[in-house]
Chain A
Amino acid sequence: MTEPPTGTPEDAGRTATKATGTGTGTVTVPMIVAGICLAIPFVAMLWVDSYSRLTPAFIGIPFFYWYQMLWVLISTLLTVVAYTIVRRHERLQRSARAREAGERA
């Protein structure tokens, strides 16, 4: 077997590399946090029963409406957090790759 130990049986014998190869998909704690930030809006918005009511109203707007509009802002903030984390992660990897290339050359 010339396959690396991480290869699953389906991977064996195929030339196509998995998209998560070459270290770009390294899972770190901050990246998990970024993933959670992106997942939270799905839980909040798809759980319709949690916000399907009229009260408390805000300046006369029923809860159902202002709550969902509030989530536009909350999900945006969560995306900003995820963006900051991912950008930092990509920078670190980029500089790591550049160092590697430098050592080889």
Chain B
Amino acid sequence: MKDGVNGVALAVFIFFFLVVTVMGFVASKWRRAENADSLDEWGLGGRSFGTWVTWFLLGGDLYTAYTFVAVPAAIYAGGAAGFFAVPYTILCYPLVFTFLPRLWSVSHKHGYVTSSDFVRGRFGSKGLSLALALTGILATMPYIALQLVGIQAVLDVLGVGGGSNWFMKDLPLLIAFGVLAAYTYSSGLRAPALIAFVKDALIYIVIIVAIIYIPIRLGGFDHIFSAAGDAFAVQNPETGKPRGSLVSGPDAQWAYATLALGSAMALFLYPHSVTAVLSSKGRNVIRRNTTILPLYSLMLGLLAMLGFMAIAAGIKVRNGQLAIPQLFENMFPDWFTGVAFAAIGIGALVPAAIMSIAAANLFTRNIYKDFIKPDASPEHEAKVSKLASLLVKVGALVFVLTMDKTVAINFQLLGGIWILQTVPALVGGLFTRWFHRWALLGGWVAGMAYGTWRAYDTPSATQDHFGNTNLIPLIGEKGYIGLTAFALNVIVVIVLTFALKALRAPDGVDETSAADYTADAGDPGVRQELPPATAGAPGGH
């Protein structure tokens, strides 16, 4: 490890950071509408994004800086088990293909801004919609915190932010954060959409270079994998088990498969994914995107290889998150290290912006408007949402600065389990109205409680709590807790639905009709672009 500040790398890093800062503020003028003061404009970019912008936006949104640091870090730590990210991102697209066009259509028709808006409209239940909105906000906050952790990792390796007093130590992060908050506030979703172009270009360049250049320097993949195999075979003196393995062993396959499936089901229910999807201008924009987004999955697979390279290159770090930044610094010339770090840093800003906007939209629509001020005008909604996005980010910052990093990671893990519990209401609701709203609420409570309890009760590789796989009841194999909780959730929903229907419990009013789910922009009765007035008034006034 080099000591002190890496001047050249830092200069390159700052250069790119300045470029995206300017872009972030300029973005407010990009494709600006006449009436910019509504949630549709600020929070969904005017619902105007075509296939390519949506591609960059979703790519920038889902494949975050944290992903880029964490996936290779997991491989570095344990080998094959960390590679489940690849089948996970393979499986999410067929799922997206099946249900998100329906969500887009019904949201476009009724002016829904969040997924909870849809649930309220479909089941006529503000309570259910509130439960899902809270789940979304809770799951998103630690995710934003992790993006800041990603920036911190890069700054650490760059050698800045290591001052003795806490203020100097955190100053670089505070600056990055302040800039992010300012342009999100002024430009809304347009800022991350525009910055995503830079982010993705940088990331693609860095990965292509890394995947060719580093193996050449390390003597080819043969050598890399034999070195990794040797390293994994070494037994951990504390547990007496080997560190990891190059393939998924027989007792780890259920875990591998359920983690992939469960994560795939959850990915597009995160508020930030829904926000990006609803900002697209047509039903088929999403379907087309399921055929081009896998390019990022391929990149993720290549990126995972960096974990093996870090082992072969003899990188020794106590904090696995630093393995990849350290690998870059050891392998690349200084100027390119700067480019690589800029890619990670900007890669954190884009999703952090979208996530804070998504959480703010949820707060505004499903808490503020539904429970505090039902007559809020579109302008007022946009104002509340802007402020909420600031609050969410400050919350994430406090999280990162005051608590241990593992807290953010633990909560992000719980977030995945929680988000999965919104599947029955959201995805189920897109296809059938058979489920009873109170049954859905009951299933949600059961799934949340079980998932949280089991995760807390399960030791992970590094601590006594917050593991993500444990024995599945009845099956007796180790599997992803989130998916087990989801199965319990579904069982509760079905049983309660039968019971409530037998008792003739009031079913709630469904404001959607079957044709709404297949509507497209330009259809008779569907506006090409939504006027802000209807967008601000859910349920058609």
Minimal beta-carbon separation of A45 from chain B (angstroms): 4
Tell me which residues across on chain B come within 8 A of A10, comparing CB atoms.
434, 501
Query: What 1/0 mask marks residues of chain B from 67 to 95 whose CB sits below 8 Å from any chain A CB?
Result: 00000000000001001001101110110
> A82-B97, A83-B290, A101-B524 given as contacts; is B91 within 8 A of A45 (CB)?
yes
**What is the bound-complex CA distance between A78 and B91, given in angstroms?**
12
Contact A87-B287, Cβ < 8 Å, known A16-B433, A24-B514, A48-B256: yes
**A22 and B519 alpha carbons, distance in the complex (Å):** 12
Measured between alpha carbons, how far is A1 from B510 in the docked complex, in Å?
A: 23
A83 touches B91 (CB 8 A): no
Residues of A within 8 A of B515 (CB): 22, 24
Task: Flag if B225 contacts A18 (CB, 8 Å).
Answer: no
The total of chain A residues at the interface (CB under 8 A) is 47
Contacts of A57 in B (CB 8 A): 222, 225
Q: In the complex, which residues of chain A have a beta carbon less than 8 angstroms from the beta carbon of B83? A: 64-65, 68
Does B261 interact with chain A (Cβ within 8 Å)?
Answer: yes
Q: Place the interface of chain B in its size category.
A: 35 or more
Residues of B within 8 A of A19 (CB): 102, 430-433, 514, 517
Closest Cβ–Cβ distance, residue B438 to chain A (whole Å): 15
Docked Cα-Cα span, A27 to B434, in Å, equals: 21
Looking at the assembled complex, report how far the CB atom of A24 sits from the nearest CB atom of chain B, in whole angstroms. 5
Q: How far is the CA of A90 from the CA of B527 in the complex (A)?
A: 19
A42, B518: Cβ atoms closer than 8 Å:
no
Interface residues of A in 47-102 (CB under 8 A from B): 47-49, 52-54, 57, 59-62, 64-65, 68-69, 71-73, 75-76, 78-80, 82-83, 86-87, 90, 94, 101
Interface centre among B91, B102, B430, B523 (most CB of A within 10 A): B91
Distance from A80 Cβ to chain B, minimum over Cβ atoms (Å): 5
CB neighbours of A39 from chain B (8 A): 94
Check if A76 sits within 8 Å of B510, measured CB to CB: no
Which residues of A lie under 8 Å from residue B224 when comparing CB positions? 60
Selected contact of A72 from candidates B97, B222, B225, B301, CB within 8 Å: B301
24 contacts between A and B (CB under 8 A): A14-B507, A17-B513, A18-B434, A19-B433, A19-B514, A22-B514, A24-B517, A49-B250, A52-B250, A59-B220, A60-B221, A61-B305, A62-B247, A64-B83, A65-B301, A65-B304, A68-B86, A69-B86, A71-B90, A72-B86, A75-B90, A79-B94, A82-B94, A83-B291
Chain B contact residues, CB within 8 Å of chain A: 80, 83, 86-87, 89-91, 93-94, 97-98, 102, 220-225, 246-250, 253, 256-257, 260-261, 284, 287-288, 290-291, 294, 297-298, 301-302, 304-305, 430-434, 501, 507, 510, 513-515, 517-518, 520, 523-524
